[in-house]
Amino acid sequence: MNQLNTSNALLEILDLKVGIKREERVINILDGVSFSIKEGESLGIVGESGSGKSTMGLSVLRLTPHSTHPHTSGQILFKGRDILAMDDTELQKLRGKEISMILQDPMTSLNPVFRIGDQVAEAIESIGSLSDKDKADRVINALERVQIPAPETRVDAWPHQLSGGMKQRVVGAIALASQPKLLIADEPTTALDVTIQAQYLQLLKDLQQEFNMALMFITHDFGVVARMCDRVCVMYAGQIVETASVHTIFDQPAHWYTEALIGGVPSLDGKLDKLVSIPGAPPKLGETTQGCRFSARCPNSKDKCQIREPDVMHISDTHEVKCWYPRE
Ligand SMILES: Nc1ncnc2c1ncn2[C@@H]1O[C@H](COP(=O)(O)OP(=O)(O)OP(=O)(O)O)[C@@H](O)[C@H]1O
Ligand SMILES: [Mg+2]
């Protein structure tokens, strides 16, 4: 999956492998992942639990655990520069400035012992020095932008005084303070109530468009992908098995796994099912598999699938699938 949309790519990931060592053996959590994101584009990363989505997002900021670093290879090109080859100074210039990340649980991003306003101010300060008055104004602006009511009083609040939805908005304000070119959002709404989820997603989408910011949106929910993304990569057991536009994914999924995930929902107009459960389980991390990793669960599995790992097939310029016998 490496030849698509590489022109004017903001982020281009080439053959990324991220492994851990277990009993003298290296086990790849990500096993040869390639994709790209263009400026202003919203790309969904979808897959079941354990498929490697979070590892993917963390890799882009080199935030995977240290134990994985000796077993990381490939390239992560941001504006053509390889993040994996950057020194600490370059990384610091990138993190939270050109690339920001929002995680599932806002409390892992907010510091419980600092007031909201101070945490937003810190993010704003990191971009450049400002007078106190300018800084205070920008903090209020940043909170207004993520639609926090009465920001003048909220600046003095402690994180624990805010609801989950409000906390996640503050995280959003911090992430967006530097107007990053790329925002990585890893299941940003799973900790929120359903109605709050919808509002937060709309807000993210609006801000993404306003700032022409690229978005890497990690989720297991295809309904959310349909709302938020232009294109999608479907992950299975540490690999990307299908890449296509959101329309194509819903109308003509080529991989049997993708089809199962969207539960046969044919179009974007219909009501979208959440991730349905597929009989069987993905191979366990480190389990040796032969052939296609999905073959044990695939309704269309044939002899070849059990023996040889599929090549990537180019269905069109914008559609790739890793399958020997894709859906027609
Ligand atoms: N530091 C680590 N050490 C050992 N195993 C790890 C480590 N980080 C991730 N893994 C394993 O790698 C696999 C992928 O994990 P990852 O968190 O990236 O998946 P995910 O797709 O984000 O899952 P979820 O939907 O549950 O968040 C899992 O089997 C996980 O247990
Ligand atoms: Mg995850």
Domain membership of residue 61 (yes or no) is: yes
Choosing from 29, 63, 219, 293 the residue with most ligand 1 atoms within 8 A of its CB, the one to mutate for a pocket test is 29
- Distance CA(125)–CA(163), nearest Å, equals 26
- Distance CA(93)–CA(127), nearest Å, equals 9
Q: Which atom of ligand 1 is nearest to the CA of 57?
A: 18
Count of domains in the chain? 1
Give residue 137 CA to ligand 2 midpoint distance, Å.
35
Give the pLDDT confidence of 84-115 residue by residue, as tens digits.
999 999 999 999 889 999 988 888 889 999 99
- Work out the angle at residue 293's Cα, subtended by the Cα atoms of residues 84 and 273, and round it to the nearest 5 degrees: 90
Q: Which domain holds residue 292?
A: 9-98+178-322
Give the pLDDT confidence of 215-236 residue by residue, as tens digits.
999 998 888 999 999 999 999 9
Domain membership of residue 145 (yes or no) is: no
Domain membership of residue 159 (yes or no) is: no
Contact 191, 224 (CB under 8 A): no
Domain membership of residue 128 (yes or no) is: no
Domain membership of residue 137 (yes or no) is: no
Domain membership of residue 1 (yes or no) is: no
Q: How do the residues of the chain divide into helix, strand and coil, expressed in percent and rounded to 5?
A: 35, 25, 40
Sheet order of strands, 182-186 included: 99-102, 182-186, 214-219, 42-46, 231-236, 239-245, 319-322, 312-316
- From residue 315, give the alpha-carbon distance in Å to each of 210, 226, 244, 303, 320: 33, 21, 10, 22, 6
- What is this structure's pTM? 0.92
Domain membership of residue 167 (yes or no) is: no
Domain membership of residue 141 (yes or no) is: no
CATH of the domain at 21: 3.40.50.300
Choosing from 54, 221, 289 the residue with most ligand 1 atoms within 8 A of its CB, the one to mutate for a pocket test is 54
Supply the pLDDT for residue 275: 47
Ligand 1 contact via 220 beta carbon (within 6 Å): yes
Give the pLDDT confidence of 178-222 residue by residue, as tens digits.
889 999 999 999 888 888 888 899 999 999 999 999 999 999 888
Ligand 1 contact via 286 beta carbon (within 6 Å): no
Give residue 50 CA to ligand 1 midpoint distance, Å.
5
